[in-house]
Structure formats: structure tokens, C-alpha cells
Amino acid sequence: LVSRKKKPDNTIIDINGEKFGDGEQHFIMGPCAVESYDQVAKVADAVKKQGLKLLRGGAFKPRTSPYDFQGLGLEGLQILKKVADEFGLAVVSEIVNPADIEKAVDYIDVIQIGARNMQNFELLKAAGEVDKPVLLKRGLSATISEFINAAEYIISKGNGNIILCERGIRTYEKATRNTLDITAVPILKQETHLPVMVDVTHSTGRRDLLLPAAKAALAIGADGVMAEVHPDPAVALSDSAQQMDIETFNRFMAELKK
């Protein structure tokens, strides 16, 4: 069902007036994790001032170590929703447990399924049963074919509003956190009718590579870019090394608009 052979036209997903898949470029920006009302509000203010319409932030954080900050859970979703309503933004946030999907839809405009859950088939099926767009990230070591099949799990349950997100894959290369598979973008665009984004934060893991990676993503035909922004990355509770502060984010957007 996700194949372009089946449906030659792009799927266009309207989220708060941003039409993903329309050939324009869209941005999903926000902190790695929701930490507090003030932290999210500062980022939302910057996102709004850039004329953007979507705000990301993790409330349920799938961390590598169980001793690292796990996110604020439902309280995090409540903070995000409150801030997003105040600034007129739509919320993108990750859900990790199929049982949380039903209550999360009251707080979230786009359900993010993270890399670690790309093949959590029960979660994919649950996301397929709700009337909310899904941002599906590529698995840590997933082939493009496995990625497409994960999207197929969602659409096969009735929900075709899926945005694919390349976020880097595990290779032998250690210079970046993951290896950004940039040609996945045109391959996914050719093989499916779904919008394709690139997450430059988790793919590179390096603040100095966010801008060149975003330029590459847009140049190769991505429908948009995701990146993380924090008012003070040095004290961030997760992904401290790779989030942009607000000044850097403003420069990043200005460069991309050029």
C-alpha cells in the first residue's frame, strides 16, 4: 500500500497548515526531551518566531541506559500540549508503548515511532488504528526494505498518513554517531508515495554537522528536516552534545532559507 506503483501521486499530510509531501520544505524542531515548562516555552518561542508550525519533544525517552533520564511521561505530554497551544504549534512526540497511544492522541498531533521501535509490530499496528499522522523513524540497523515494511504495518491497519524519517544507521564509522544514509531519501521517494524527512541531529550526533547535513537532505529531495534545539544544551538531560542553542538554531534556519 505504500508503494508508488500502487499510488503514483505523493501523499500530502496537512499538519497545522504545513503540507508534508507538497514539494515544499518543512521543519520539525524542538528539544530532545521535555524537561520543564520554561525549557519548552523558550524553544517554542524561537520556533514560532522562525514561522514554523511544529514542535517536537520527547516525553517517553527510549534511553540506552536505564539509569539515564527516561522522560517526564504523561506530565511531559501535558507540558508540550500547553506550550504548543499557547504558541499555536502542533506537537510531535514519541510513543513507546502501544497501550499509551489512545491517551496520547489527546496531547499529540503527530505520533513519533522511534528508531528503536521501528519493528515493534504491536506499536506499529496500534498507530495504524488511530486517526493521527505518524512520523516513523528508520531503525538503527534497518534496511530500506525493512523500513518500508514497517510503514506497511501502519498503513495496512488503515492509517496512511505516515512520514518516513531517515535518522542514520549503524555502520563501522565512528566519526559520526550514526551514518546518515542520504541516498535513502531519493530511494524512499521513488519507491513510496510518502513524505520523507531527515533527522540531522541523531544521524550525525554532531552540532558542527547539522547545517551541512540539512543542506544535503534538502538538496537530495527531502520533504523536510528534523533537528533538536535546547535553550542551554550544556545542561540538557539528554543529547547534550548535539542540540543547538537558540542562537545557533536561528543561524541554521537563516542559512537554510538562503
Residues that bind ligand PEP (CB under 6 A): 32, 58, 94, 114-116, 137, 167, 199, 202
Residue nearest to Mn ion (CB): 32
Report the residue number, 18 or 239, with the smaller CB distance to Mn ion.
239
Binding mask 15-34 for Mn ion (x = CB under 5 A): -----------------x--
At 138, which amino acid appears?
R
Q: Are residues 46 and 246 in contact, defined by beta-carbon separation less than 8 angstroms?
A: yes
Comparing CA positions, the residue from 33, 106, 109, 108 lying closest to residue 72 is: 33
Report the residue number, 116 or 125, with the smaller CB distance to ligand PEP.
116
d(CA 257, CA 238): 28
d(CA 213, CA 177): 13
Binding partner of 167, given Mn ion, ligand PEP, none, CB within 5-8 angstroms per partner class: ligand PEP
239 lies in the binding site for Mn ion (CB under 5 A)? yes
Q: Are residues 167 and 192 in contact, defined by beta-carbon separation less than 8 angstroms?
A: no
Beta-sheet pairing, 110-113 with 134-137:
parallel
Binding partner of 94, given ligand PEP, Mn ion, none, CB within 5-8 angstroms per partner class: ligand PEP
Q: Are residues 29 and 226 in contact, defined by beta-carbon separation less than 8 angstroms?
A: yes
Binding partner of 115, given ligand PEP, Mn ion, none, CB within 5-8 angstroms per partner class: ligand PEP
Residue nearest to ligand PEP (CB): 114
Q: Which residues bind Mn ion (CB under 5 A)?
A: 32, 239
